Amino acid sequence: VELSRKLVEIIPSAEMVRFGKNGSDATAAAVRVSRAHTKRDKIACCGYHGWQDWFIGSTTRNLGVPEAVRKLTLPFKYNDIDSLKALFDQNPGEIAAVILEPTLFVAPKDDFLKKVKELAHKNGAVLIFDEVITGFRIALGGAQEYFGVTPDLSTFGKALGNGMPISAIVGKAEIMSKFNDVFFSFTAGGEALSLAASLATVAELQEKNALKHVWAMGDMLRDGYNAIVKDLKLEASTRMIGYGFWPEMEFFGKDGKHSYAIQTLVTQELIKRGVLTRAGMVLCYSHTPEDIRRTLAAQGEALEILRDALKAGDVEAR
């Protein structure tokens, strides 16, 4: 109850709360309760929403998902409102909910989130923000607070428990009350340690203004990386994009498409220098300016090796 009250206080869309154990629990529950609320079956989605059949069946990782289930989930493109409009036009009165990650590395353009909300409501669909990644990172109240667009339902996880297994579905009481009849239960549902951990996490975020620090470290890393790239004249091969809470390295081949060879070489050289990472770098409150400087030093050396490899034409051999 204490954590529920705290989330209602913090998150703009939260009138009622239910807890799960991982992001897939939360998104699947949000989809199911939306179907119950609207008495419709189809879901429009944009982003990654977990491993369960309703979503993963719409991807290339759909082995084992029945064809009938796959047909119920309809992907649309981020920052392309016409792609969502087309789904509503092609499936009139059939779409129960629109679920999307409100942002990751690319910012919404031209009031995209606002337009998604308007289009969903115009067509009688529930709007769900999947904030499993953005929640408690981009802002304390999530991307909905940051961008000023409030959905009907939202899902949270990851940073909420600071590593502990917990997720949350929050939203309008009118829809959330359907959980009185929609079955949502699991073996470890009564585990309370994660609830305590989440309360402590939220308190730390509030009391220490932790997100301001996280963003500062991420901005320092992204800007420093791009400065090195510019100095080495590698703009055509790599860059770092994204928000301060989660900057990401991108790597390009001569054709402008993603280069796994370049990514592998840079990652390999970073590991050799004691920096264990992948392309996306999730910052946390524990990271210090010294950590960022050390990372940038390693990235500088790795990018020098990349520059030499590109000149020699032996990226893959290295």
Known catalytic residues are 48, 130, 158
130: helix, strand or coil: strand
117 vs 21, 31, 102, 230, 245, CA distance in Å? 27, 16, 11, 39, 25
- Structure tokens given for 49: 């929403």
28: helix, strand or coil: helix
Quote the DSSP letter at residue 285.
T
Torsion angles phi and psi, residue 236, rounded to 5: -80, -10
Question: Using CA atoms, how far apart are residues 197 and 158, in angstroms rounded to an integer?
Answer: 12
Q: Residue 272: which residues within 8 A CB-CB, separation 6 or more?
A: none
> Which residues does residue 44 pair with via DSSP β-bridges, in sequence order?
74, 98
Quote the DSSP letter at residue 65.
-
Question: Using CA atoms, how far apart are residues 8 and 92, in angstroms rounded to an integer?
Answer: 34
